[in-house]
Structure 1
Amino acid sequence: MTLTKYNAYDIVVAGTGAAGVSAALEAAQNGAKVLLLEKGRSTGGSTNYTEGLFAVDSYLQKEQGIKVSGTDVLNEEVEYSKYKADSRIWRKYVDDSANTVKWLKDQGVKYEGVQAMGAGEATWHIYEGMGDAVIHKALLPQAEKLGVEVLKSTAATELRKDDNGKITAIQIENQATKETQTIATKAVILATGGYLNNSDMMEELTSYDTSRLIPVSCGKGTGDGLRMAWNVGAQKYSTGMAMLFGGYLKDPDEPSFKYMASHMETAAGQQPLLWVNENGERFVNEEVVYNFSYAGNALYTQNKVYSILDQAVIDRMINKGNFMGLGVYVRRGEKLTKLQDELNDAVKENKPYIFKADSLSELASKMHIPEDKFKQTIEQYNNFCAVGVDGDFGKDPQYLVKVEKGPFYGFELNVGAFCTMGGLHISTKNEVLDNHGQAISGLYAAGNDASGLTGDTYGPNMPGTCVGYAFYSGRNSAKNAVAYIKQN
């Protein structure tokens, strides 16, 4: 018995997120016989939860009169990465980004429009129905129409090369039966989504305290593609980066992604209001939430962080709207109409991240932080609010909101993370490179398995660059893999 219809394919793609499905479809559109592997029981990976992709000079931006310079984007992102990003990769990605938006539209993707996130540029092309609709209503149906064979619950486990160093086969395994099969192929595209969900790799390859890190993803990014590539001589390159996104509530009883649409999560973790550490001290300009990667870094400078809200600011966010949203799950300025009910339920259920008290002294006691220092911090902060000048860190006066009306709430903030990016050194053709910088013939990496887009943090000023790169790099990998096959 075999797992697949055929014993040989032109191209095998591992992973069914944006990068993998785009690669499979693009390869099939160029005449290749393609096998698409998904180790889980459902397709789409973390792309299912994405809201939109990056592009400059797209037809949608032109319709809205939005002008963003591609060269300015490139320079800003490379500088933001401290020149750890590859300018050549960014150049090609930026130049093809408008075409990617159009290509997706041609496959049936529908868009809501273009917007910015936080203080960033309007490069975020929001698609209808989230990434789930992009994958399952557009790209996968198109791929299957063209004959792409999709195998779920089937993992890629090992790459094979010949004596000349060319990829010749891949071993796959059914996750239920553990049956294996070796598939002959001239090219493999790795699009397995990074390693955020592999605790051992996170401990080894990053500096983050993983006990405080909350992966908000599909849960399948366990480094499979990286390990397979490293085992055949790929260079281990540019590891250590995770896409942090600031304060997040840790609930041991619920899947982490559930809180993405929570009004309580938005109020507690995403507002530029008041944070204190385990000593009851304020430690940063809370406007850092407008750059979610920086916000994650700021939270990690302290052993513990608590977000402090009083009833007055809660009422303000319910009746007038929040200061800062959470992507398109909870939009900026949206009235948090579910907030009070969510707070009441969390307190009633004694959730470990929330503390409610009628006085500041009682709140400090419940959070186990020094009462005197905490009350001193609140008094000083309220004085800053009264005069409209942040004497500590220079926060914009519009975010100086007094903490004075009980009941008072404290929220222990952990650090949310969407994904890792990097691990394999690639060329501008998305070829995987060995330790000498030479391409491993027939091996390509796309999306979060590939390096070249970031440094040690993600650049949120250009929202949508991660999933946008996944779509682009999947297609780029496929185009170059098809060209390679035709030559060999």
Structure 2
Amino acid sequence: MKIKNSYDVVIVGGGAAGFAAAYEASHRNLSVLVVEKSKKTGGSGEYIEGAFAVGSYLQKKHNVQLTKEDVLHEELEYSHYRADTQIWKEYIDASAGMIKWLHDIGAEYLDVEPLGSGYRTWHLFKGLGKSVIHDVLEPKAKEQGADVITSTSVTKINLDDQGNVSGVIVEDLNTRTTKTIDTKAVVLATGGYLNNKELIKNDTHYDEDQLIPVNAEVNTGDGLQLAWNAGAQKYAMGTAMLFGGYLKDHTKPGYVYRYSELNGAADQQSLLWVNENGDRFVNEEVVDNFALAGNALFTQGKVFTIVDQSTIDHLNDEKLYKAMGTWDYHDTKLPHLKEEIQKALDDKAPYITKANSIKELAEKLGLSDLEQTVTKYNQMANDGKDTEFGKKSDFMVPVENGPFYALALGIGAFCTMGGLKTNTEHNVIDKNGKVISGLYAAGNDAAGMLIGDTYGPNMPGTEAGFVFYSGKHVADVIADNK
């Protein structure tokens, strides 16, 4: 390992939070080492679409009327006051400056937009987080002297006799050689634990079979385990950033369907959803808040979108029933939908079932109540009134003209938030409520301080914004205290 024996800061994880910290720390003349276990840097941060802020220069161009007080109140209410008020307040106060900071060092924005029924707080990056990391933060951190190693894992955080951080042990994953590095500051930025099925099963209320990670598939809770082994509290586990239904195909990585038109139609068009018995269970307009949609879907054992050929023809040839914000669609229709359906059938994809009648579809999937459900749904659609759940008539699309399709849905998730308790300076807190001196967390590893049991897409970009904010801020804290 061609690295030094001692650094001012060791950053565990080479994603968005890690490189925000690496850039700022090296800019503040600290010696920096970034340790990434994967063969390449970036991680799930590459998929970030946009970051939250209030009062930014882009929002001012659009005359967005949203105050810091409004945001703080809504986020605390949304979390039922399980979020940390002071951390939220400082993050909100810094958010507009973070958007400008990223712009000033080279990040480019498409615009600031809302998402679904949320507020206009989503500052969309040109080239996604991938560009922000690889075109801006990482190369500039390296230019400023930061060292970056990949295919290397931090296996232990060393503490001195007083319980302060004194160093780390790293292991080259190719040669299995180890090295001890002296440091008084370790920043955990490993992206959470979405890809750790044991933690999902044991520490959350989610069904690990239904949960579909849509990320870089490397977020296995490494930073959390390092901190827990060093005496940190296990805190605010159990929350993932859900984004509604997602084509259920465990034979492929989740990200394969991220921009699939079939995936968008099944989840984002408020079409008919039924459960494992063939019963409808919710107003499908819940998709306007994708986190709440994920919660609703998790109440059922299985979920299917039921759709007929007329609906497919309409979406493919004419127009969408509603705009889709979660996927990057700028068209007004889904021109490849029929093509994707045929490919899925040809490939015998596990999520799609086709039949010539609703009765046949019900028999193939064992959906005992499906015929009754579709009959009632069609009657309400033709009457123009949803007497079950109150869905707007615009989205009461009848299921009448075969062939018919059932699309099995899991619940998509981008990341987990939480696992560690931190303070406003991102210090990790131990089981007795005391700071573990020299141990810090940023990004998803620390974001449990922002939420209750559900992520808030009402203010889109809050998690991504916190990733960059906490990365930069923790570097400033370390530099100021050096």
Work out whether the TM-score is over 0.5: yes
Q: Report Cα offsets for 1:256-288 as digits up to 9, x if no partner.
A: 101001001111122211101111111111111
Q: SS of 2:258's equivalent?
A: helix
Give the structure 2 partner of residue 63 of structure 1. Answer: 61
Query: 2:219, 2:47 → 1: CA distance?
Result: 14
Contact 2:115–2:326 (Cα < 8 Å) also in 1: no
The CA distance in 1 between the partners of 2:331 and 2:284, in whole Å, is: 17
Q: Please give the alpha-carbon distance, in whole angstroms, between the structure 2 residues aligned to 1:324 and 1:149.
A: 47
- Please say if 1:429 is aligned against 2:431: no
Which residue pairs with 2:436 in the alignment?
440
Name the SS for the 1:47 alignment partner: helix
Does structure 1 residue 8 correspond to structure 2 residue 9? no
- Contact 2:155-2:226 at 8 Å conserved across structures: yes
Which of 450, 453, 456 is the equivalent residue of 2:453? 456
Residue 286 (structure 1) aligns with: 284
Helix, strand or coil at the partner of 1:186: coil
Could you say what secondary structure the match of 1:238 adopts? Answer: strand
What amino acid is aligned across from residue 466 of structure 1 in structure 2?
E
Paired with 2:325 and 2:127, the residues of 1 have a C-alpha distance of 14
The structural deviation recorded for 1:358 is: 1.7
What does residue 191 of structure 2 align with?
193
After TM superposition, the score normalised by the length of structure 1 is 0.96
SS in structure 2 of the partner of residue 456 of structure 1: coil
Report the alpha carbon displacement of residue 448 of structure 1 after superposing the two structures with TM.
0.7
> Residue 337 of structure 1 aligns with which residue?
335
Secondary structure of the 1:413 match is strand
- Partners of 2:87 and 2:450 within 8 A in 1: yes
2:476 equivalent in structure 1: 479
Distance 1:14 1:326, change over 3 A: farther
Letter aligned with residue 441 of structure 1: S
* Deviation, structure 1 residue 67: 2.3
* Corresponding position of 1:392: 388
CA RMSD of aligned residues (A): 1.3
- Cα distance change on mapping 1:202 and 1:301 into 2, 3 Å: same
Cα distance, 1:436 vs. partner? 2.3
The partner residue of 1:469 within 462, 466, 469 is 466
Q: 1:30 & 1:198 partners in 2: Cα distance? A: 35
Q: Tell me, in whole angstroms, the C-alpha distance in 2 between the residues paired with 1:385 and 1:369.
A: 21
User: Match for 1:386: what amino acid?
Assistant: N
Range that drifts further, 58-67 or 328-337: 328-337
Listed as ranges, the gaps of 5+ residues in structure 2 are none
Q: Number of residues paired by the alignment?
A: 481
- Spell out, residue by residue over 1:426-459, the C-alpha distance to the aligned partner (whole angstroms, 9 max, x if none): 0011111112222111111001111211111110
- The separation in 1 between residues aligned to 2:262 and 2:15, in whole angstroms, is 29
Question: 1:90-146: CA deviations, max 9, x gaps?
Answer: 111111111111111112111100111110001000011111111111111111110
Q: Tell me the secondary structure at the aligned position of residue 332 of structure 2.
A: coil
Which residue matches 1:296?
A: 294
Distance 1:319 1:148 in 2: 52
TM-superposed deviation, 1:65: 2.0
- Give the CA deviation at 1:320: 3.4
Q: What residue is the counterpart of 1:131 in the other structure?
A: 129
Q: Distance in 2 between matches of 1:445 and 1:44?
A: 17
Unaligned runs of 5+ in 1: none
Match of 1:85 among 74, 83, 86: 83
Amino acid at match of 1:378: V
Aligned match for 1:380, one of 373, 376, 388 = 376
- Structure 1 position 140 matched with structure 2 position 157: no
Residue 332 of structure 1 deviates from its aligned partner by 6.8
Alignment of 1:21-420 (within 5 A): 21-324=19-322, 327=325, 329-331=327-329, 334-370=332-368, 373-420=369-416
Q: Which amino acid is the alignment partner of residue 459 of structure 1?
A: G
1:331 Cα offset (Å): 2.5
Q: One-letter code of the match for 2:455?
A: Y
- Point out 4+ residue stretches in structure 1 off by more than 2 angstroms: 250-254, 319-334
